[in-house]
Structure 1
Amino acid sequence: MKRKSSIFALLLAVIVLFIIPRLDFLKEQTEAPVYGEADYSIHFPTDRFPKTARHIKEAIEAGKSPVCTIDRDGADENRKASLKGIDTKKGFDRDEWPMAMCAEGGENADIAYITPSDNRGAGAWVSNQLEDYPDGATVMFIMK
């Protein structure tokens, strides 16, 4: 009886230590979606615009694209679609990710209430960074 218990304990230890960790389907899927290459990349200054940065990070972690395909002509339509049904809140802006000026933005954008100074500062910074890039260019947002 003692020998059977020892063999069972050894078998159980082998399963726990060597087999279960290799069963990929049991592992929690935590990797972010994989996106293709982008034409450009920018390092978003998380220290300067922390509230907007937190929103972007959370939206990307939830599955939104970190890549923006510049579509300036579609910005107004995307903004209307993304903000439809989202109430305004006194003292806050409604921040969109992906941004309205991205082809990926629009109806399914992630919306967060952000203080105007943080949101508008971030918007001006991004606009300045992208001003020389043509419509259709893809830009990877890297959160530093």
Structure 2
Amino acid sequence: AAAQRAADTRDADGDGVYCESLPCPCSKKAGGNGGGGSGGGNSGASPQGCVRPQGVQSIGFSATKYPNIFRHFARAVKAGWPRVLRINRPGADARRDRLLENVFTRSGFDRDEYPPAVGRGRGKGLTRGANPTGWMASVQYVPSSENRSHGSVLGIKLRRFCNGTAFRYVFY
């Protein structure tokens, strides 16, 4: 809706960048982090106007649309990773970088993490590894399109919640 309202694509500050006030989940400059759902950019702060509801929030995903993510989640939980996670935006990029630094890339595949970087570092079972705290997680290769779609949806679904909110994946 915001993009539609900006139909004239004015460059408000004259720096040659159009519509820069609009949110872009893919751009670090615009406050995103390039995926993964941390949603708070480099600061890691809770989004303005966020909510922290009581209890564990169920974040739903289609097992049909994300079959490889679902299998990775099930294997990771079976291996002892917790089902209940806590939003922890600060340091998510550093946790992801540390985890993946020795996991080689493969053409057509992304390295999926469970728990995701935004869900590690605080809470029971989520502080494995130091420098930064909570960098350890399960990693599995999944098709890039599936992982990026899932990461985008995760970010959208977590956006309204404050840091510290408990959540869990639910596949339907």
Alignment TM-score > 0.5, same fold:
yes
The share of aligned pairs that are identical, in percent, is 32
Unmatched 5+ residue regions in structure 1? 1-36
2:87 to 65, 70, 73: 70
Rg comparison, structure with higher value: 1
Distance of 1:120 and 1:90 partners within structure 2: 14
Aligned to 1:130: 158
Instruction: Write out aligned runs for 1:42-121 (5 A).
Output: 42-103=59-120, 104=126, 106-121=134-149
Contact 1:93 1:115 in 2 (8 A): yes
The number of residues matched between the two structures is: 108
* Structure-1 separation of matches of 2:135 and 2:162: 23
CA RMSD of aligned residues (A): 1.8
Deviation at 1:143, TM superposition (A): 2.6
Structure 2 residue runs of 5 or longer lacking an equivalent are 1-53, 121-125, 128-133
TM-score under structure 1 length normalisation: 0.68
Write the distance in 2 (CA, Å) between the matches of 1:38 and 1:89.
Answer: 38
- Offset at 1:141? 1.6
Contact 1:68/1:140 (8 A) holds in 2: yes
Q: Which runs of 4+ in 1 moved over 3 A?
A: none
State the Cα deviation string for residues 52-106 of structure 1 (Å, max 9, x = none).
1111111111111112210112211110221131111122111100001112374
